[in-house]
């Protein structure tokens, strides 16, 4: 914060007191959210203000600190989340997701239908939030399960795991985007690393574990959406290749930006050349998603005969569900800003250094604790990233190291989701599982997903340290 530098203010608490204040702030946040069911947005604002006052921040600087931190986070998050939600809504409403899933089943064959649905969900989960994507995919899961084995868990589990992985690890989903903003990591590098993690993590925690639970549990297909004959189909859906194109387009544009940055920093290209700046702008994540959304409007909207009014209504509908996520993420950034301003972050850094705990382990453990306590992976990821960001920023880590820290935090944030997580109830209900079965299957899957991803990230991080 500028006022901290200008005034030279320091908290009246020492490192020990600031650490105690940080623990008390997190416990208070969890208490308000869990015990009193206070909305996370309000709870984060209240705890941020109380933390600032308890640390001795002058009253005239409390509100400016909150507002500056909130606005700074939204500037990097809101565009990505909103554009990603619009893109996902267009893909869903056009029937493109269903067309792609059916094509994948035909390609891989009936025996590999669970694998095909899982891989399809990895693609669909790139721009679409997990809850929306799972509701989108579940009629397809039901239809395939009825046509083949009749065991819904065999087909639903790989899908749910794939969507969870994409939601937690891959931008433009809000958790990894916010975490990247907090530690000033390159979103493009974070996206590439997240995509590299996605398949091996899913193969172990979604495909292999899914096969295990399918052998152990044989669950009939629920009738939540009627029978297969009653399912409504979208007229003139896009071809599968069109869906793949619009989902891969932003990735290609972002890779262009990352590649140009690498070539410019190495001196291969003139970093000040106008054409380099222009292409890098096109590959910036918000611009890449904007271009992709406009292309999708044309391909899945106007070219399919939809009116401008209908397309606008589809995109408008997509924004409502993500507003809460955007605001909570901004409030998480507010909390992080207070921690930086009060010096709590420096105290955490000093304590970690004294304890000899590497930053990447601390990020994972803090996010894991938040996840187990309050349920939301997004809140756990943003809060942990806010807590760890001052220590990360002081470490002079490189871009790939920063991306590894973001992924480690993401891995901790998904650990062992249970009854305080909305996703636990969504997956359990739509797959017809009772609470005990959901705990034995889905909660364990989330733990496996967390550990596998963290082990992979830790290996990459270790190689970076060696070389």
pLDDT digits (tens, 9 = 90+) for 353-409: 567 778 899 899 888 887 886 677 887 888 888 888 888 888 788 889 999 999 999
**Cα separation, 197 vs 165, whole angstroms:** 9
Query: What digits encode the pLDDT tens for the residues 172-201?
Result: 788 898 899 888 898 889 989 999 999 999
How far is Cα 422 from Cα 425, in angstroms, rounded to an integer? 5
Among the ranges given (14-18, 124-128, 271-275, 432-436), the one the predictor scored with the smallest mean pLDDT: 124-128
Q: What is the pLDDT of residues 230-264, one digit of tens each?
A: 334 567 788 888 888 887 787 788 778 777 877 87
Closest CA to 158 of 431, 418, 421, 453: 431
Q: With beta carbons less than 8 A apart as the criterion, state whether 123 and 198 touch.
A: no
Q: What is the pLDDT of residue 230?
A: 39
Nearby residues of 177 by Cβ (< 8 Å), 6 or more positions away: 76, 77, 80, 81, 171, 187, 329
Confidence of residue 102 (pLDDT cuts 50, 70, 90): confident
Q: How far apart are CA 290 and CA 333, in angstroms?
A: 24
Note whether 124 and 91 are within 8 A (CB).
yes
pLDDT of residue 164: 94
Q: How many residues would you count in the chain? A: 467
Which H or E element spans position 1?
A: none
Closest to 261 in 3D by CA, of 159, 160, 187 = 187
Q: What is the pLDDT of residue 225?
A: 47
Give the burial string for 404-428 (b: 16+ CB within 10 Å, else e).
bbbbbbbbbbbbbbbeebebbebbb
Helices 240-265 + 59-93 axis angle, to 10: 140
Higher-pLDDT residue of 151, 457: 457
Q: How many helices (H) and strands (E) does the chain have?
A: 22, 0
Cis upstream peptide for 427 (omega within 30°): no
**pTM of the full predicted structure?**
0.70
- For residues 250 and 173, the answer to whether their CB atoms sit within 8 Å is no
Instruction: Mark out the alpha helices in 217-302 (DSSP H runs).
Output: 240-265, 274-282, 285-300
Say whether pLDDT at 227 is over 50.
Answer: no
What rounded mean pLDDT belongs to the chain?
83
């Amino acid at each position: 914060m500028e006022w901290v530098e200008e005034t030279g203010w320091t908290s009246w608490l020492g490192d020990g007191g600031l650490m105690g204040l940080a623990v008390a702030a997190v416990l208070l946040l969890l208490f308000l959210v869990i015990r009193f069911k206070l909305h996370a947005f309000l709870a984060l604002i209240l705890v941020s203000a109380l933390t600032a006052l308890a640390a001795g921040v002058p009253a005239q600087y409390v509100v400016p600190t909150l507002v500056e931190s909130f606005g700074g986070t939204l500037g990097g998050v809101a565009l990505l989340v909103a554009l990603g939600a619009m893109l996902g809504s267009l893909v869903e409403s056009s029937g493109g997701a269903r067309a792609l899933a059916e094509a994948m089943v035909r390609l891989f064959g009936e025996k590999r239908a669970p694998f095909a649905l899982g891989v399809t969900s990895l693609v669909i989960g790139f721009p679409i939030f997990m809850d929306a994507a799972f509701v989108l995919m579940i009629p397809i899961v039901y239809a395939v399960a009825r046509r083949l084995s009749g065991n819904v868990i065999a087909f639903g589990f790989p899908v749910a795991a794939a969507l969870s992985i994409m939601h937690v690890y891959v931008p433009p989903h809000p958790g990894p985007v916010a975490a990247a903003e907090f530690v000033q990591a390159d979103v493009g590098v974070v996206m590439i690393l997240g995509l590299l993690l996605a398949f091996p993590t899913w193969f172990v925690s979604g495909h292999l574990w899914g096969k295990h639970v399918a052998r152990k549990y044989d669950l009939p297909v629920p009738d939540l959406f009627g029978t297969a004959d009653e399912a409504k189909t979208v007229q003139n859906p896009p071809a599968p290749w069109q869906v793949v194109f619009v989902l891969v387009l932003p990735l290609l544009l972002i890779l262009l930006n990352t590649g140009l940055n690498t070539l410019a920093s190495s001196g291969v290209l003139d970093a000040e050349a106008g054409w380099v700046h222009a292409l890098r702008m096109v590959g910036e994540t918000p611009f890449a998603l904007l271009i992709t959304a406009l292309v999708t409007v044309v391909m899945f909207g106007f070219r399919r005969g939809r009116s401008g009014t209908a397309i606008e209504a589809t995109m408008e509908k997509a924004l409502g569900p993500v507003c809460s996520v955007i605001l909570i993420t901004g409030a998480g950034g507010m909390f992080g800003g207070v921690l930086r301003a009060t010096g709590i972050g420096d105290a955490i850094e000093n304590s970690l250094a004294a304890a000899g705990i590497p930053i990447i382990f601390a990020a994972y453990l803090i996010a894991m604790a938040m996840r187990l306590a309050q349920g939301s992976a997004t809140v756990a990821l943003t809060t942990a990233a806010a807590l760890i960001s001052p220590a990360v920023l002081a470490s002079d880590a490189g871009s790939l190291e920063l991306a590894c820290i973001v992924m480690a935090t993401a891995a901790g944030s998904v650990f062992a989701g249970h009854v305080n997580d909305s996703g636990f109830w969504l997956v359990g209900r739509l797959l017809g599982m009772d609470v005990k079965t959901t705990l034995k299957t889905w909660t364990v899957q989330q733990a496996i997903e967390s550990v596998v991803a963290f082990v992979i990230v830790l290996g990459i991080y270790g190689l970076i340290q060696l070389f």
